Structures are given as structure tokens and as C-alpha cells.
Amino acid sequence: MGTYRTTRHPDQPDVAVVGGGIGGLSAAFAVARKGLRVRVLERAQEFGEVGAGMQIAPNCTRILHEYGLLDEASKLGVRPENMVMKDAVDGGELTRLDLHDLEREYGFPYLVIHRSDLHGIFLRACERIGVDLVTNQKAVGFESGDRGAEVTFEDGHVETPGVVIAADGLHSVARELLVDDEPVNSAYVAYRRAMPIEQARDLDISEKDVVVYVGPRCHFVQYPLRDGQMFNQVAVFESPKALAGEEDWGTPDELDSAFEGTCEQVRQGIPLMWRDRWWRMFDRDPIMSWVHGRIALLGDAAHPPLQYMAQGAIMAIEDGWVLAKHVERQLADGADVADLDWDVALAAYNAVRPEHCRRVLITGRLWGKLWHHDGVKRLQRNAILRARDTYDYGFTEWIYGPTALTPEEEPEMYPVIPLDSVNVGQEASRTAP
């Protein structure tokens, strides 16, 4: 993505962001827009993002629009027509979202985009606005003082900004200031592949929709990327080796076994997955405080989720937007950048974001269980999903609406429909194992 300094500028910034992923760069851009001097310190030798496709819901495209970045994201991504959920065993449709109507409902589109493209959008935005971008900087220690914070790096140098935003990921060093915990192993693993669309056209695919097949202990996702020139696939399954406590788990032989009982559309796509890499799925239990003095956690450092809600990067982008809005409120009241009351801004951030992200993390875990049911529970789930009206947004209002700036603005959660409220009768008796 370009060449950046590997040594720091002698002047200290107002804000230091530790971590140059999507969350760190978007937060740096959000705060720099308010007139603050911002430095991003990335541990890798260059800025970049690994992975394949990702989904961006209206609660994020709303923010991209405010940042002036939505047009660029739309050109690099795809606006799908529908999100369709199907049963991975029989291939039957369960429910769908009309994404054009969803845009009408929420005012902003649903996009799919390559992770590296979204990362590049924020990297270029940071360059344009003058964010100081530094690579090869591994943080090893964090400390907060009365008037600022300190970050110590592996090379021995120390940054002393007014505030530190710790966007240092799932294995965050800064998180240790707030809680003694470890990542939680879900025993699920993800395989991915982003390929030229021509390599997938012989399959039974939709080139205009996001399609999610949900099945017993597995699911499979497909959608187009890069203006329809590429096609993205994600295959996720529970690893028997992980459940057995083996170290070498999530291997390609398990991938093949996990999808043996699925419908033809899914089985056709499995041989196309990358087989030289896979992503073991971890999250962490929610924590309700992200701020330690002048150090604030952000993104996966604060709330690493399982992927079922497709909100991981979105939550990180929202984090930076919310923090910047609380900085902006002080500036609007006449404060100078030098006179910002960071205690007030960080307290306001900490009052609203942990609860929202707790909801997303817990819902992600529950959603994963719902997707992966077998037997009678699978049939009950299917009946509930098929009964949903395409244009019923009662299950999305809490997540796709405007991002809350205060606890009072946080909407009510979605309605809960217990599986055992559905009687699937004789069909369950015939089909259940």
C-alpha cells in the first residue's frame, strides 16, 4: 500500500493509535477530522489487510457517507440485490432481505467489499488528512498518567500522547490493563476464497445476491466482489479435532467431511476454497469498561466477535465515530484542542459502546447456534424463518439503525421467538435422527 516511516516524528501527537487495521485507521481519520494531531503506529512492516470479502451494513455506510468515503466504497464494492438465507441440507430458501428496500428503510445501502479495499480507503483518507503513519512498531507496554498516556515499543522508544487508542486486536496488550482474560475458542474454523467470477460461473450461484446456507454444524456464504468481477466464498464448520482437544485442528480433511451432507450448490463450492490457510474462530467474553485513564480500547481489542453478525469491522468503525463525536461536542462548545477534557470524552464513549457491543457479541454467539442446528431444532428454526415477512425489519432495527451516542439512544433489542414455540409435528418425527 506504500512506504511509510519506521521511525517516529519527534513531536508528540494529541492522539496515538496503536494498530493500523481497519479499526485503527478509521478511528485515526475520525479524530483527525476534528483538528487533532494523530499518529498511527502499526506493528507490521507495511500497512495492509488480510482476508477476503466483508459485508457493510447501513449502520456503517451511514458513517462512510458522513466521512465522504461512501462513493469510493460503492465503486470498489458491490450493492447486492438481496440477502438470501437457505437450508444447507436441502437448498430451500428460508428467508431474505430485499437490500434495495433495506436501503429505503435505513437511508443507506448494504455493501459487500474486499477487506483490503476498505482498508485502502481509510489508509488513503488518513494520508490526505495528514495522519502520521508509522510502521514496524510493536507495542509492548501501556501506562496512563494524569495528563496523558505512555506506550512503550519493542525497539525501546516511548510515545507520550494525550490519549492512546489501543486498536491492537484480539491479542491486545492494552486490554490487560482492564481484565485478565483469554480468547474463547469456538471450535469453529473458516475457509475463504476470493476468485475471478469466471471460476465460479459453472456453479449454481447468484451473481447479484449475498447467499447464506445454514446447516448442521456448518454454513456457507457466497457473494460477488469488486463490481461483480470477483466472487467470494466462506465455508465455516465445527472441528471435531478442536472438540477433542487436538492442536492440529480445522484441517482440509475436516472441511471436506463437514460439508458431505449438504446440498449440491454447497458441495460444488467447497473444492474451490483456499486450502493452504484457514481462520480459527475466537472471540472474547464482553467487558463493560474499555477505558483505563487516558487509554481507550477500540475494535477487536475491546470486543472481538464471532463473525455471524457481520459486524466486527463495523463495530470498530462505529467506535471511532462515537469517540470523535464526543470530541466534536466539546469543540462545538468553544473548547480548544489543547483544552479538551479527555476524561469527559472517554467517559461518554465508555458509557455507550460497551453495552452495544456486548449485545452484538452475545447475539453473534446465539446466531451461530441457530444457524448450526440439526434434527428437530433445525426444522423449528426453518419454520420460524420461513414465517418472517421479507419486509419485516423488527429483527434489524436494533443493529442497522443510527449508531447511538448515548445510552438513551440505544434501541431495544430484537424480539425473541423460542424454537419450542413451533410444533413441526410429523415432519420432525420423520426427519429427526
Q: Is 223 a catalytic residue?
A: yes
Residue 417 burial (10 A CB sphere; 0-12, 13-18, 19+): middle
C-alpha cell at 61: 455506510
C-alpha distances out from residue 57 to 26, 79, 291, 321, 322, Å: 16, 11, 27, 15, 17
SS (H, E, C) the chain: CCCCECCCCCCCCCEEEECCCHHHHHHHHHHHCCCCCEEEECCCCCCCCCCCEEEECHHHHHHHHHHCCHHHHHHHCECCCEEEEEECCCCCEEEEEEHHHHHHHHCCCCEEEEHHHHHHHHHHHHHHHCCEEECCCCEEEEEECCCCEEEEECCCCEECCCEEEECCCCCCCHHHHCCCCCCEEEEEEEEEEEEEHHHCCCCCCCCCEEEEEEECCEEEEEEEECCCCEEEEEEEEECHHHHCCCCCCCCHHHHHHHCCCCCHHHHHHHHHCCCCCCEEEEECCCCCCCEECCEEECHHHCCCCCHHHCCHHHHHHHHHHHHHHHHHHHHHCCCCHHHCCHHHHHHHHHHHHHHHHHHHHHHHHHHHHHHCCCHHHHHHHHHHHHHCCCCCCCCCHHHHCCCCCCHHHCCCCCCCCCHHHCCCHHHHHHHCC
For residue 383, give Cα distances in angstroms to 261, 378, 380, 428: 21, 9, 5, 11
Q: Tell me phi and psi for residue 174, to 5 degrees.
A: -65, -30
**What is the arrangement of strands in the sheet containing 82-87, beginning at the earlier edge strand?**
93-98, 82-87, 209-215, 218-225, 230-238, 184-196, 279-283
- Closest by CA position to 117, among listed 212, 283, 230, 9: 230
| From 106, 223, 308, 349, the catalytic residue | 223
Q: Which residues are catalytic?
A: 223
